[in-house]
A and B are shown apart, each in its own frame.
Chain A
Amino acid sequence: MDLEGQGRIKQAVERAGTDNVVAILGANSPAAVEMTALTLKSGDPSYAGPLAGIELGIPSFHILEAAITEQIDPALYERELALPALAMDVDEVVKPLLTIREN
């Protein structure tokens, strides 16, 4: 997650709080998903950005996880997600999130 993005998210949660907040990610690589999810849960692991040392405790999910896609309007799924789902190894991309949410 880039530093500017961290700053904008920090401002958003300072304004709105973290109650009932979840992150829904769309990245196509396990590494990118992992870094974002760790940052939102425990703070920036690289200690470089505005979220360094800030434990927001926000759980992250991927938009293509079955538990998420089954709640989405089927027509929207076809239009927005069907193609990315074909192009992505969804199980591999989602795997880090399962571990991070459990720990």
Chain B
Amino acid sequence: MIDLKGKRVLAIGERDGVNGAAIEACVRSAGAEILYVETQCFV
């Protein structure tokens, strides 16, 4: 079981799944710090 609180997160989203900004907002709400955010696009 991982506890996101205090973790430093690389948020690597995808346009057709969950994007990076959404991951960032969600993990921040759990107490994590963001190191990097990206939204990949494979089209």
Interface residues of A, Cβ cutoff 8 Å to B: 1-2, 5, 8-9, 12-13, 16, 19-29, 32, 36, 40, 58-59, 61, 63-64, 67-68, 71-73, 76-77, 80-81, 84, 88, 93
Q: How large is the interface on B (under 10, 10 to 19, 20 to 34, 35 or more residues)?
A: 20 to 34
Q: A27–B40 contact, CB under 8 A?
A: yes
- Per DSSP, chain A at the interface is mixed
> Number of A-B pairs whose CB atoms are under 8 Å?
115
Interface residues of B, Cβ cutoff 8 Å to A: 1-14, 16-20, 22-23, 25-27, 29-31, 35-36, 38-40, 42
Complex: A6 Cα to B19 Cα, angstroms: 17
Residues of B within 8 A of A63 (CB): 13, 18, 22-23, 26-27
Q: A80–B18 contact, CB under 8 A?
A: yes
Complex: A68 Cα to B12 Cα, angstroms: 15
Q: A84–B18 contact, CB under 8 A?
A: yes
Q: A20–B38 contact, CB under 8 A?
A: no
Report A20 CB to chain B, min CB distance, Å: 5
Residues of A within 8 A of B19 (CB): 26
